[in-house]
Amino acid sequence: MNPVDNSAEIKRRGAALGFDAVGIALLESNPHAAELDRWLEAGYAGTMTYLHRQADKRKDPRHIMPEATAAVVTLANYFHGRGESDARVAQYAWSADYHRVLGSRLERLAAAIRDIAPAARTRAYVDAGPVPERELAQRAGLGWIGKNTMLISPDIGSFTFIGVVLTDADLSPDLPFEADRCGTCRACLDACPTNAFVAPHTLDARRCISYLTIERRGDFTPPERASVGNWLFGCDVCQDVCPWNVRFARPTDDPELAPRPEIAAPDLPGLLALDAAAFVARYGDTPFARPGAAGMRRNAAAVRANGDGT
């Protein structure tokens, strides 16, 4: 098959696997490499030192897999509708760990690429690799990067996981999504409870509740503890207020991303009472495993203190 037919067939197979959108970008150096350098130099990555180590690959994804020439980029909608509970959990975490669910789906897409282009080599990534995922998704035509730094699809909003398969298959790229559909809106910047945006498109991760509750190790300082409010794990505020989500986000019907009640509406006293072994038995296969038992107890204690002043 020729590159145009290969690309069309890969998109068809991606849709059949359950991805909500599939686009293709040729690999080239990241046009926002200078912004990444400035962001790292400013210390905004906090303790996420892996972002410094991976910078060369993020600035030029051709360094990740030297033989690769293209990225097949996918979106998977994880929106579940608006839930309310006293201790809030970001929606991306409500189901089974997406690294596992989408990792195996991307491996099936990679197998489809090798089936369509038999000599092709492939490598699949979701979140964990040194891949500039949002930038590749924008260049693959899937959406624009909003002022809240999220990749926003004009069709389904930003409650999406991004996945990437790098390959040397001969593919025809999509046009990049050049429009900036934020316009004069700044709802996300104004709504952020911790003022974590130092400017549009620039997040000081050290102030972000998602970083504090998931990536931060050790005890909170008193201001950090107060700043997480009632967020037990992650934060959705800068997405909840985005008009593109208000208008276009629709609950997913993906069975592999079905919400688990013990995560979506967690039992705070129960969580505080779990020892390490019981925590692993209950939450070991969920996103809560990243901060672990100690991190989740710290988060739960902060939410309880912020709720009733204890």
Binding mask 220-259 for ligand B12 (x = CB under 6 A): --------------xxx-x---------------------
Q: What is the closest distance, in whole angstroms, from the C-beta atom of residue 183 to ligand SF4 in the complex?
A: 7
In the block, tokens 């190790």 appear at 217
The tokens of 244 are what? 């593109």
> Quick check: 242 binds ligand SF4 (CB under 6 A)?
yes
Residues 111-131, buried b or exposed e (16+ Cβ, 10 A)?
ebbeebbeebebbbbbeebbb
Residue 187 or 301: the one with the smaller Cβ distance to ligand SF4 is 187
> Quick check: 194 binds ligand SF4 (CB under 6 A)?
yes
The answer to whether 101 and 13 are in contact (CB under 8 A) is no
Q: What is the closest distance, in whole angstroms, from the C-beta atom of residue 180 to ligand SF4 in the complex?
A: 8
Residue 157 or 173: the one with the smaller Cβ distance to ligand SF4 is 157
Query: Residue 36 binds what, of ligand SF4, ligand B12, none (CB under 5 to 8 Å, by partner type)?
Result: ligand B12
Tallying the residues shown for the chain, one arrives at 310
Residues from 9 through 38 that contact ligand B12 (CB under 6 A):
30, 32, 35-36
Binding residue (CB under 6 A) for ligand B12 from 106, 150, 156, 242: 150
Closest CA to 143 of 280, 222, 249: 249
Q: Which residues on neighbouring strands pair with residue 261, listed in sequence order?
A: none
User: C-alpha angle 292/223/39, rounded to 5°?
Assistant: 75
> Quick check: 134 binds ligand B12 (CB under 6 A)?
yes
Query: Residue 113 binds what, of ligand SF4, ligand B12, none (CB under 5 to 8 Å, by partner type)?
Result: none
Structure-derived torsion over alpha carbons of residues 223, 224, 225, 231, reported in degrees to the nearest 10: 130
Binding residue (CB under 6 A) for ligand B12 from 14, 61, 132, 295: 132
Closest CA to 240 of 252, 249, 251: 249
The answer to whether 264 and 79 are in contact (CB under 8 A) is no
Residue 59 or 147: the one with the smaller Cβ distance to ligand SF4 is 147
- AA identity, residue 293: A
Query: Residue 194 binds what, of ligand B12, ligand SF4, none (CB under 5 to 8 Å, by partner type)?
Result: ligand SF4
Span near ligand B12 by CB under 6 A; candidates 10-18, 64-72, 155-163, 295-303:
155-163
CA-CA distance, 304 to 268, in Å (whole number)?
8
User: C-alpha angle 118/120/125, rounded to 5°?
Assistant: 130
Q: How far is CA 249 from the centre of its chain?
A: 16
CA-CA distance, 273 to 276, in Å (whole number)?
10
- Site residues (vs ligand SF4, CB under 6 A): 146-148, 182, 185-188, 192-194, 196, 203, 208-210, 235, 237-238, 241-244
- Site residues (vs ligand B12, CB under 6 A): 30, 32, 35-36, 39, 48, 51, 58, 90, 92, 126-127, 131-135, 145, 148-151, 158, 160-162, 201, 203, 205, 208, 210-211, 214-215, 234-236, 238
